[in-house]
A and B are shown apart, each in its own frame.
Chain A
Amino acid sequence: MPASQVRLENIGKRYGEIWAVRHVDLEIAKGEFYTLLGPSGCGKTTLLRAIAGFISPDEGTVFLDGQSVTHMPPWKRNLGMVFQNYALWPHMTVFDNVAFGLKERKVPRREVEPRVLAALAQVGLKGTEGRRPSQLSGGQQQRVALARTLVIQPRVLLLDEPLSNLDAKLRQEMRLELLKLQRDIGLTTIYVTHDQEEALTLSTRIAVMNLGKVIQEGKPREIYESPRDSFVAAFVGKSNFFSGTIIRSLDGFLEIKTAEGFQIKAAPPPGYQSPGDSRKILLYVRPEAIDVIESADEPPKVNRITGRVAASAYQGSLVEYEIESAGRIIRVNETNPKGKPLFQRGDEATVTFAADDVGIVSE
């Protein structure tokens, strides 16, 4: 394995009596797109700022390319950061904004202009160099911020929720552009976001954080398909949770009775051993893993629960249902609804899902 480019060792940062982050260890390899994902206040921005050098941790060490930089001031680290509000200097033109880092590095004057223009071209902003940031749209400002950072050829790119100030459509476009740009340049990138969809789309690896700790670290697919606990299962994607007890093990399935009285068959998790265990467990089923059928039809999958439609929202590419049964709401995303029956509020309906799609997590 190649030496990690960014390494955090037992990082802890305290504000007063509260630890914003504590006991965090991370290793990020060259070229990775690494995302810190978590709700606000989970400590993800604190970690990013510790890497950038804006805060010095109370515990632990930050390594860049194998060298401790824990107390190195930000201006010596050669990291590029894009801020949530872009932080473009309003008293400078776009050109001067982008040229700033080069001038600080005493790059020869004749090199500055071509490099600035190339950086602007790279983000698709040719011809804007004479304008002020206030004359640009939000998306353009974002690109200037990116160009300003890329032009200094930083060791690592740090992105602090860079897409959160854009409207939904632009955000999706920028997401794909960012993805292509990063993969093209191969620049190690650390990305902070609370948006799980962004994290899944962009990242090579994700660290899900909560309450100042890294809960789970892994590739997007691992995080989504095998969440370690109920927090990850709830935060990354949506989930229907059921608490229940295992009744028995039969034909390779675990049979579980939930608190509401549903009988659910689940595939045993890897390493599962003690059949007949009656301890409490937590199940989750993703909404998109559930189908809705007429109650009279033969269910195609092993689990079925009959109920009544409490809400039905047709969205073109999918239909969102809320099915009520035994006082519980079960959320269903019926994808590609073309040709399937469309249920209305009050209709009787049955939900069905496979045993493989039932996850078991610790609480």
Chain B
Amino acid sequence: MAKSEAAPVFALGIRLDWRQAGILLTLLGLLTFFILVPIARVLWVSLSNDEGSLTLVHFANFFLRPLFRESLWNSFVAGLLVVFFGSLIAVPLAYLSVRYDFKGKILVNTLATLPLVIPPFVGAVALQLILGRSGTVNLLLMRWFDMSIPFMEGLTGVVLVQTLHFFPFIMLNTAVSLSNIDPSLEEMAQNMGCHGLRLFRRVTLPLMLPGFIAGCLLTFIRAVDDLGTPLMLNYKNLLAPQAYLRITTIGIDDVDGYVICVILVGISLASLLVARKYLSLSEYATLHQGAAVARPVAGMKRLAILLFCGLVLTVSLLPHIGIVILSFAKVWSFSLLPTAYTLDNFTEIFFRAPHFVKNTLLYTVLAAGLDVFLGAIIAFLLIRSRVWGTNALDAVATLPIAIPGVVLAVGYLRVFHGWDFPGLGAPLTSTWIILVVAYTVRRLPYTVRACYAALQQVHISLEESAQNLGANRLHTFVKITLPLISGGLVAGGLIAFMTNCVELSSTIMLVPRIESGPISYGIYIYMQSPLGRAAGAALGVVAIVLVSLGTYLTYRIFGGRTGSAFRI
């Protein structure tokens, strides 16, 4: 009797493991097809000759071309300069926001989010209007001093725009590291007679270094991968725009474009691995509750702090101000401010060409939903299952962080172009679906991370006690696990949503036709003609509003730990 009772249940146990293994294999297959295969194709094209054998000749050619050597050098220098200037702004701000308490501190916290809500390529256009050769500032300088400063020319402009956009990444990561330092570590040093600058140099600095370095590397990766800013500023001697130009102007078969892609991935991967190493070091100093108390500051010191913050804030706000003004402009050319104002631009984007906004909402919501769905399953498998192969799943799902949008797009074009997708009757790249795929893949690491973190907070005994009280696996997941990780799911979805709202680098290559383009593509198209600029700005305002909304909601859910969402 005992035996007959055990048999069917035993079969159930086996079946459950098979089910998990089946899901795992399906996911691995899916991710391999949409992540590994395109990347492998790009790598293969760059490493093979016409006869199909391995060769390094394409890489040799790359280094023989002065234009490519210059682009590589420029990308490096620009990345380093962005990190350098970004750190000059970010580190003092991070220290101020964590260690001091003063009236007007909201300024500092606003600074951390303002640049994040405006995509860099939108900021680039706005800054050109204000700081460009015939922008407001230079017009004033010409009028008063008969001189001009080339803020926005060439590499300077790229570095300026990227610095203003990316410094929050350094700030947020440094601040997280700083606030994680157990106060007793510093108190112990003080107790032994160490104080002031020496305390900072010997204890505080080494402890905050991991977060700082991780932030720097993240900024470096993003700056090197950024395609929109150089395109908008019409500066092409950088790696990302070179890759784009080779593929779009010479063609999908141009080997040089693939070589540049591989080099871009190499830089990203190397930086990411170093960043990982530093972030894992930061664990030793973390504390989970009872953060250090911020010291109150008043008087002259407070004034100095506010002046510094005010200055940075003003400069960071310039793109936002510029884009809003431009969106209401009828004519703005060779004048301090627009000479006439109108609502036509918004009529244009909402009524005459509403597809940009509609498409963006459709693609990003779909992609965010898919990301949350996949992220939850992957995180669940990573944490709760003992099936072989979860490590591989983790690695593949995280890989897109290191893949620039341009490279993924090139891979997709190469793999899917001219091949009728089963059930679609047309190549994947000729429909808007490819954009949803690209968006989903690019932000998957973020949702996996958010879900993973949320699920980690759910102690397994919470699920076990439900099973003990009579709930089967499905009931346990629906009634216990899901409600407990919903915050993480929503936060992950929001991050995917708002970053995809302003995605340009893969969008620009993958949009099959203008009517299928999202906002970012619309902005790019409008900005090509002087007459369309204002309508592009109106789209930019919509993008800012969408991203602000996402940021605000993320803050509401994540609270003060929002910074951790932008970590690696």
In the complex, the chain A residue whose C-beta lies closest to that of B10 is A71
User: Does B12 sit within 8 A of A, measured CB to CB?
Assistant: yes
Checking B9, B464, B483 against A87 with a beta-carbon cut-off of 8 angstroms, the contacting residue is: B464
**Cβ 8 A contact of B462, one of A56, A61, A72, A89:** A89
Q: Quick one: given A81-B465, A91-B484, are A72 and B6 in contact (CB under 8 Å)?
A: yes
Binds A, one of B244-252, B373-381, B416-424, B470-478: B470-478
A71 contacts B462, C-beta separation under 8 Å: no
Q: Which of A54, A56, A85, A100 contacts B469 (CB 8 A)?
A: A100
- Is B529 in contact with chain A by the CB < 8 A criterion? no
Flag whether B467 is at the interface (Cβ < 8 A): yes
A89 to B481 Cα, complex, angstroms = 10
Contact mask for chain B residues 1-28; partner A; CB cutoff 8 A; 1 contact, 0 none: 1110110011011000000000000000
Q: A71-B9, A72-B5 are in contact. Are A104 and B464 (CB under 8 A)?
A: no
- What is the CA–CA distance of A61 and B471 in the complex, to the nearest angstrom? 24
**Is A72 in contact with B472, judged by CB distance below 8 angstroms?**
no
CB distance from A54 to the nearest CB of B (A): 6
Contact B13 A71 (CB under 8 A): yes
Q: Which residues 72-130 of A sit at the B interface, judged by CB distance below 8 A? A: 72-81, 83-85, 87, 89-91, 100-101, 104-105
Closest chain-B Cβ to A3's Cβ sits at a distance in Å of: 14
User: In the bound complex, what is the Cα–Cα distance between A53 and B471 (angstroms)?
Assistant: 13
Q: Mark A193-219, 1 if CB is under 8 A from B, else 0.
A: 000000000000000000000000000
Q: A67 an interface residue at 8 Å Cβ cutoff?
A: yes
Q: CB distance A54 to B471 under 8 Å?
A: no
A75 touches B484 (CB 8 A): no
Q: How far is the CB of B5 from chain A (nearest CB, A)?
A: 6
Question: In the complex, A346→B307 CA distance in Å?
Answer: 69
On whether the beta carbons of B9 and A73 are closer than 8 Å, the reply is yes
Instruction: Decide yes or no: A71 and B6 within 8 Å by CB, A83-B465, A87-B461, A91-B484 being known contacts.
Output: yes
B288 contacts chain A at the CB level, 8 A cutoff = no
Residues of B within 8 A of A85 (CB): 459, 461
Contact partners of B466 in chain A: CB under 8 A:
89, 100
A68 on the interface (CB 8 Å rule)?
yes
Pairwise interchain contact A70-B6, C-beta atoms closer than 8 A: yes
The residue in A74, A79, A145 that gathers the most chain B C-beta atoms within 10 A of its C-beta is A74
Please, how many angstroms separate the alpha-carbon atoms of A111 and B239 in the complex? 71
Assess whether B484 is in contact with A90, with CB atoms less than 8 Å apart. yes
Determine the distance from Cα of A89 to Cα of B468 in the docked complex, in whole angstroms: 14
Give residues of chain A (11-26) contacting chain B, Cβ–Cβ below 8 Å. Answer: none
Q: Is the CB of A75 within 8 A of B6?
A: no
Q: Chain B residues with Cβ under 8 A from A104's Cβ?
A: 469-471, 475
Among B3, B12, B467, B483, the residue within 8 A (CB) of A74 is B467
A75 B467 Cβ-Cβ under 8 A: yes
The verdict on A79 contacting B471 (CB below 8 Å), with A56-B13, A87-B459 known, is: no
Assess whether B203 is interfacial by the CB under 8 Å rule: no
A62 CB to closest chain B CB, in angstroms? 10
Query: Shortest CB–CB separation between residue A61 and chain B, in angstroms?
Result: 8
Given contacts A56-B13, A104-B475, contact A73 B467 (CB under 8 A): yes
User: Roughly how many angstroms separate A75 CA and B475 CA in the complex, as a whole number?
Assistant: 10
Q: In chain A between 55 and 73, which residues have their CB closer than 8 angstroms to a CB of chain B?
A: 56, 61, 63, 67-73
Asked if A305 is an interface residue, CB under 8 A from chain B, the answer is no
Taking the closest CB of chain A, its distance from the CB of B482, in whole angstroms, is 10
Q: How far does the alpha carbon of A84 sit from the alpha carbon of B462 in the complex, in Å?
A: 11
A180 vs chain B, min Cβ distance (A): 24
Complex: A217 Cα to B464 Cα, angstroms: 29
A to B contact number (C-beta, < 8 Å): 86
**A contact residues around B475 at 8 Å (CB):** 104
Contact of B472 among A54, A75, A87 (CB under 8 A): A75
The residues of B that contact A76 with a CB separation of less than 8 Å are 9, 470
Check: B480 CB closer than 8 A to any chain A CB. Answer: yes
Contact between chains at A68 and B9 (CB < 8 Å)? no
Interface size on B (CB < 8 Å)?
A: 26
CB B513 to nearest CB in A, in angstroms, measures: 47
Task: Report the separation of the CA atoms of residues A104 and B467 in the bound assembly, to the nearest whole angstrom.
Answer: 10
Q: How far is the CB of B8 from chain A (nearest CB, A)?
A: 9
B462 and A73 form a contact (CB under 8 A): no
A52 on the interface (CB 8 Å rule)? yes
Contact B9 A79 (CB under 8 A): no
B476's nearest neighbour on chain A, judged by CB, is: A75
Question: Which of B3, B470, B480 is in CB contact (< 8 Å) with A152?
Answer: B470
Any chain B CB within 8 A of the CB of A148? yes
Give the shortest distance, in Å, between B364 (CB) and chain A (any CB). Answer: 29
Minimal Cβ-Cβ distance residue in A for B12: A73
Closest residue of B by beta carbon distance from A49: B464
Q: Indicate if the CB atoms of B6 and A68 lie closer than 8 Å.
A: yes
Could you tell me the distance in whole angstroms from the C-beta of B296 to the nearest C-beta in chain A? Answer: 30
Which A residues lie within 8 Å of B2 (CB)? 61, 63, 67-68
In contact, A67 and B5 (Cβ under 8 angstroms): yes
Chain A hits for B484, CB < 8 A: 89-91
- Please indicate the chain A residues that have their CB under 8 angstroms from the CB of B483 in the complex: 91
Give the residues in chain B near A79, CB-CB below 8 Å.
468
List chain B residues, Cβ under 8 A from A68: 2-3, 5-6
Bound Cα distance A87, B472 (Å): 17
Tell me which residues across on chain A come within 8 A of B469, comparing CB atoms: 75, 80, 100-101, 104, 148-149, 152
Q: Which residue of A lies closest to B462 (CB)?
A: A87
Query: How far, in whole Å, are A63 and B6 apart by their CA atoms in the complex?
Result: 11
CA of A105 to CA of B465 in the docked complex: distance in angstroms? 15
- State in angstroms the CA–CA spacing of A216 and B79 once bound together: 69
Residues of chain B within 8 A of A53, CB atoms compared: 467-468
- Cα of A152 to Cα of B459 in the assembled complex, Å: 23
Which chain A residue lies CB-closest to B470? A104
In the complex the two chains form, what is the Cα distance from A4 to B12 in whole Å? 28
What's the least CB distance linking B125 to chain A, in Å?
46
Which residues of B have CB within 8 Å of A78? 470
Q: Is the CB of B468 within 8 A of A74?
A: yes
A318-350 contacts to B (CB < 8 Å): none
> How many angstroms from the CA of A80 to the CA of B464 in the assembled complex?
11
20 additional contacts (CB under 8 A) given A73-B467, A73-B472, A100-B479: A68-B5, A69-B5, A71-B13, A72-B9, A73-B9, A74-B468, A75-B469, A75-B471, A75-B472, A76-B9, A81-B464, A83-B464, A84-B461, A85-B461, A87-B461, A91-B483, A91-B484, A101-B469, A101-B470, A104-B471
6 tightest A-B contacts by CB? A68-B2, A101-B469, A104-B470, A87-B461, A87-B465, A71-B10
